[in-house]
């Protein structure tokens, strides 16, 4: 079993699943070492559960797990000593109040910063974790989406996924598709997902496949319509859409067949999907906002 099956699991077409009672996964059998999702689309917490805890911290990842997310997304950079650390920006100032380039700081210097107080005093002292710390905690609990933000992380990511035996629980994503190509060259069994901000026409999907042969397409929600979702799925990709916090948009994307939805609020998405499952694919989007 590998993560391609999990990626395929997310590939179900929601409306058909509700009508036929069959989970579709881009033609492949669904498999997972974790309990199957109950909701149709995969629930993916953005930077953990960043609507209720400081982004990219253990508190946020644990919150996503507690809320029932299938997976959480995180961002990685490489510190000066080669350690992979969990932070979105290439500078520490926004989430810690202390300016500094991640690539020029050691992991010890980064770990000493307070990444929680900016969000709430309740999270004062929350540190910036390392990828090793997160995977060690998550390996028997929840799936992880690792987004590579900067060059030089690829070898460490591949090594750590293999060390923790998490090929069936991790997807590696990036806007830099050359990073994904390198990941596939090092280990073709690791699942990758191509992030994209813009899809000008459906032919752009084929260009992405040619560039890095990903297993998933992760488009921005504004660009994700039914035609984009279907074309990607026809090409054998699962489609995970970011970052969706509006219940009406969540409802639309699930009904359009999204394989996964990335959100700051996993609990809100779960409620939307529960209502869809109960009422069926023809339920009105407005009902989800009630």
Residues marked as catalytic = 46, 88
- Torsion over CA of 256, 262, 265 and 267, rounded to 10 degrees? 60
Is the CB of residue 179 less than 8 Å from the CB of residue 153?
yes
What tokens were used for 289? 């906002």
Q: Percentage helix, strand, coil, to 5, in the chain?
A: 40, 15, 45
What tokens were used for 24? 């579709």
Would you call 79 helix, strand, or coil by DSSP? coil
Annotate 150-208 with DSSP letters as a single string: STT-HHHHHHHHHHTT-TTTEEEEES-HHHHHHHHHH-TTSEEEEEES---STHHHHHH
Annotate 215-267 with DSSP letters as a single string: SEEEEBGGG--HHHHHHHHHTT-EEEEB----HHHHHHHHHTT-SEEEES-HH
Cβ burial, residue 72 (10 Å; 0-12/13-18/19+): buried
């Amino acid at each position: 079993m590998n993560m391609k099956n999990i990626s395929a699991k997310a590939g179900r077409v929601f409306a058909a699943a509700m009508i036929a009672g069959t989970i579709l996964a881009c033609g492949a059998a669904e498999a997972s070492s974790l309990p199957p999702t109950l909701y149709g689309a995969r629930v993916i917490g953005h930077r953990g559960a960043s609507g209720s805890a400081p982004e990219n911290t253990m508190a946020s990842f644990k919150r996503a797990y507690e809320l029932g997310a299938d997976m959480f997304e995180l961002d990685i950079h490489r510190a000066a000593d080669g350690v992979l650390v969990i932070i979105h920006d290439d500078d520490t100032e926004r989430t810690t109040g202390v300016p500094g380039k991640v690539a020029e700081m050691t992991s010890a210097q980064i770990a000493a910063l307070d990444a929680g107080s900016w969000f709430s005093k309740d999270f004062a002292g929350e540190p910036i974790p390392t990828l090793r710390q997160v995977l060690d905690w998550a390996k028997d609990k929840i799936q992880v989406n690792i987004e590579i933000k900067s060059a030089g992380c690829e070898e460490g990511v591949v090594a750590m996924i293999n060390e923790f035996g998490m090929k069936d629980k991790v997807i590696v994503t990036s806007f830099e598709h050359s990073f994904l190509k390198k990941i596939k060259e090092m280990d073709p069994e690791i699942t990758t997902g191509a992030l994209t901000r813009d899809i000008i026409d459906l032919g752009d999907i084929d260009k992405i496949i040619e560039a890095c042969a990903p297993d998933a397409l992760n488009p921005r929600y504004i660009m994700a319509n039914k035609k984009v979702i279907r074309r990607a799925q026809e090409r054998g990709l699962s489609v995970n859409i970011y970052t969706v916090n509006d219940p009406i948009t969540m409802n639309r994307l699930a009904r359009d067949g999204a394989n996964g939805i990335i959100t700051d609020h996993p609990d809100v998405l779960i409620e939307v999907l529960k209502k869809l499952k109960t009422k069926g694919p023809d339920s009105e989007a407005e009902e989800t906002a009630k």
